[in-house]
Structure 1
Amino acid sequence: MPDRVLAAMHRPAPNIYEGEIEEISVRVAANLRRVAMSSSHVAIYIANGHGAWEASIANVFSRGIRR
């Protein structure tokens, strides 16, 4: 593994509640609205692989729907 990759992996995780990542998330949310051609709110999920499936299902189905 290249040293630059190892060095990047050994950086501490960013604080998700303040600082640079909070500023970036505001810009990302605004751009997501534009990409989705929506003026509604958007949600950004912090999750691993299955989080995308859970978010998709939650946005497609309402509680109590049976198919």
Structure 2
Amino acid sequence: MAEIRIDSRGLTFTKFSVSGHSPDLVDGAGAPMLSLAPGIYGIEQVPGQSASFEFQVTHKGVVEYDTALIG
């Protein structure tokens, strides 16, 4: 398991869920730590909607995502 911090303070809507982890909304304004096993996850800001974007946690605990999302 990797400890991943997700900070959404800069977003208008700070709550999100992580598909593949939990359907519950998390308030990212406090930059919570999540324990995630290696795999592919999606960030959902509206429950039941498609993920806004996906990221992968590698077996080394590294988070990888499409760099086109930066900015």
Normalized per residue, the structure richer in strand is 2
RCO (CA 8 Å, sep 6+): is it higher in 1 or 2? 2
Work out which of the two has the higher radius of gyration on C-alpha atoms and give 1 or 2: 1
- Fold shared per TM-score above 0.5: no
TM-score (norm 1): 0.22
Normalized per residue, the structure richer in helix is 1
